Structure 1
Amino acid sequence: MLQTVSEWLWWDRLWLPGNLSWSDLEDSEDHIYAKTSHLYAAVPCAFCLLLVRYLFERYLATPLANVWGIRDRVRLKAESNHVLESFFCGQKRAPSQADVRSLCKKTSWTERKVQLWFRRRRNQERAGLRKRFCEASWRCVFYFFAFIYGVVALYDKPWLYNLREVWAGFPKQSMLPSQHWYYLLEIGFYLSLILSLTFDVKRKDFKEQVIHHIATLTLLCFSWISNYIRIGTLVMVVHDSADILLEGAKVLNYAKWHQTANIIFVVFTAIFMLTRLVIFPFWLIHCTWVYPLELFPPFFGYYFFNVMLCILLMLHLYWAALISRMLYKCLFSKLEGDDRSDEDEDDSDTPEERNHKLNHKNGSGTRGRANGH
């Protein structure tokens, strides 16, 4: 049964155009093709990147945070209470007013004390500022070097300047060493992000991030196996270009270089909109959607690859909406973080007091504040 499933999964007609078969992509003296077995190297690469990340954050990012005076906010720990802890872990992190009254009866606590316990307990779950700084620093450094490597690997390639060259001789296109290492680095990185999801900062778009990482890994692996490597490298370098500035703006924002961070964020927004909403759909997706049909009839792999690219595009549209909202705050109020994350709640404020303060800020024209990343 497993053999039958494997034969169907790797059926030539699913992944290759025309009358080609996998035997046509066997290595020869002048042609070397990507193989599925090569992808196994991404697993040790991911663990190596996790080790490098640990060393980077411990011996570079943390000392830099000390130099810039980046400190975690002092948080008061919620006192031990089995009833409230069970409710927090098993039902809701933010109880309604009716829930608070019910819990008051079970614990013999006042409403204010119960609300204070939940605020402190929620704060305990939030990542500290130094952790966010270290994470953003690591991603900024990785995206920077990955982008530089991508530019070096592509600057002299004809398909960078003429997208029709992406499909010249497809799929019998020999894999270059620079492409091999570029793919291995990117696949290993996104695999490391999935492996580190449990201890990374959890943002409000956590589910979208998981979908993005899985879609990206699927695209990278499929494009590797089916020899869509030329278009794959173009997609990677386009995506990395904006991510450098985003993570860099976060780093500077945590260091309280707010004006510089805002300027970089404005530049990031322009590059994000250009690369993700213009170049990606109107150049790259157009390249994968239109040009192949001039050479061979559509097949399953053709549709699969384009659908995955469209899923990425939908995620870009979602993030473009968030970025536009943050840009508005950057230009017309005060941007202090990332709308995708929660900031610490003040132990001294009740929900009614916090709502009153928020309404007062919004109504008086005082600068608002984005949730701290």
Structure 2
Amino acid sequence: MKKEWNTRNFDSNVCLPIDIPIILILIILYTIVRSTLIKNIAENLLRKSSLSNADKQKVSQKFFGSLYRLAIYFTFALFGLSYMCGQDWIFKCFEYTLTWKNNVIPTVVFAHYYIEVSYYIASIIFLFYEPRMSDFYQMLSHHICTIILIVFSYHNNFLRYGVSIMILHDLSDPFMELAKLCFYLKYQKIADLLFTVFASVFITTRCLVYPFFVVFPAIYFAFTFGIKWQFVVQITALIFLLVLNLTWSFFIIKMVISFVKKGKVKGDIRADEISDINSTKKDK
């Protein structure tokens, strides 16, 4: 393993004349899909719902945002799993530090990088136009950290780390967004069930699998086989992302405890999103 580490290829995968146009095209595509297709679907769903006009108006922007993120995260998770399950290194955590044989990187991996980094760049832009939540700066930090991880792993040929992290962090998000959609539509029991699934998947993938398959082996590997400067930056970003995951997990666990005591979810981890619905109930 030490020989493979010392002889591994660290050549950059960055090719700006190709990368930048593709990323810009994808950002434009995300913007178009979000502002046309997803917005129309959201409006139709709300129009056909049993919500009062006042409720529809109060949740429309947030409903639209959640529907967009549901479509994106579901697509990402499905796309990632479709090729990741066939990788022979997926359960060998120390091989995450290596690259493919003869450094022949699958085209699907490059595609995954393009769609993810484009999405997070676009998300930072959208973040300033959506209703501001209490975790605005957490989300901004998360998106920036994610972009740094993606770009740095892409530049230094840590692509196995990159795709693993992206997939692990995409798996729980569809359940969260779907739970919020059901909550906005007042399908409380379905929202409760989906929140339970979300909490389980989130904690499992981000607080168990992520540190034990990615972060801790990376630290051990670095100290055992020799620390390279590229790896120091990578590990720092990995640890920062883990801290964010643990912070969010703390709030999720608090909600789970509240759920057990009260029998239903009365909010979500982005608490400000619930205020509009609750205020509507008080106005009636």
Same fold by TM (over 0.5)? yes
Q: Which residue of the partner structure matches residue 219 of structure 2? A: 289
In the superposition, the TM-score normalised over structure 1's length comes to 0.67
Counterpart of 2:67? 137
Match of 1:35 among 4, 14, 20: 14
TM-superposed CA distance for 1:286, in Å, is 2.2
**Structure 2: distance between partners of 1:204 and 1:303:** 32
Corresponding residue for 1:263? 193
Matches within 5 A, 1:177-192: 177-192=107-122
Distance in 1, Cα, partners of 2:55 & 2:181: 21
In the alignment, what sits opposite 2:49?
68
- Deviation, 1:177, is 0.7
Q: Per-residue displacement from partner, 1:89-125 (whole Å, max 9, x unpaired)?
A: xxxxxxxxxxxxxxxxxxxxxxxxxxxxxxxxxxxxx
SS in 2 for 1:340: coil
- Alignment length, in residue pairs? 271
Give 3-state SS (helix, strand or coil) of 1:290's partner: helix
Q: CA deviation at 1:198?
A: 1.6
The structure whose Rg is larger is 1
How far, CA to CA, are the matches of 1:238 and 1:335 in structure 2? 25
Deviation (angstroms), 1:207:
0.7
Are residues 159 and 339 of structure 1, via their aligned partners in 2, closer, same or farther at CA, if it must alter by over 3 Å? Answer: closer
2:258 corresponds in structure 1 to 329
The aligned residue for residue 231 of structure 2 is 302
Q: Deviations over 1:119-152 (max 9, x none)?
A: xxxxxxxx93011111111111111111010011
Structure 1 partner of 2:38: 57
Match of 2:270 among 337, 340, 349: 340
Alignment partner of 1:236 is 2:215: no
Q: 1:223 to 1:346 in 2, by over 3 A?
A: closer
- The 5 Å alignment of 1:1-373 reads 25=11, 34-37=13-16, 38-40=18-20, 41-70=22-51, 73=54, 128-168=58-98, 173-295=103-225, 297-333=226-262, 334-342=264-272, 343-344=275-276
Question: Does the CA-based 8 Å contact 2:98-2:160 persist in structure 1?
Answer: no
Q: 1:128 to 1:170 in 2, by over 3 A?
A: same
Work out the CA distance in 1 between the residues paired with 2:182 and 2:128: 25
Contact 1:151 1:237 in 2 (8 A): yes
CA 71–315 in structure 1, closer or farther in 2 if over 3 Å, else same: farther
Checking the alignment, whether the CA contact within 8 Å between 2:99 and 2:158 is kept in structure 1 is no
- Per-residue CA deviation, residues 315-336 of structure 1 (Å, 9 max, x unaligned), is 1111111111222232222423
Aligned in 2, Cα 1:172/1:301: closer, same or farther, shift over 3 Å?
A: farther
* SS of equivalent residue, structure 1 residue 34: coil
Equivalent pair of 1:194/1:210 in contact (CA under 8 Å): yes
- Label 1:72 to 1:236 Cα distance change in 2 as closer, same or farther (>3 A): farther
CA distance in structure 2 between the aligned counterparts of 1:62 and 1:154, rounded to whole angstroms:
35
State the Cα RMSD in Å: 2.6
Are 1:252 and 1:260, in contact at CA under 8 Å, matched by a contact in 2? yes
Q: Distance in 1 between matches of 2:143 and 2:85?
A: 27
Instruction: Give distance in 1, aligned partners of 2:44 and 2:146.
Output: 33
Identity %: 22
How far apart are 1:216 and its partner, in Å?
0.3
Q: SS at the partner of 2:172?
A: helix
Partner of 1:357: none
Q: CA deviation at 1:284?
A: 0.9
CA distance in 2, matches of 1:339, 1:205: 9
- Residue pair 2:9, 2:157 contacting (<8 A) in 1 also: no
TM-score using structure 2 length: 0.86
CA contact (8 A) 1:242 1:272 kept: yes
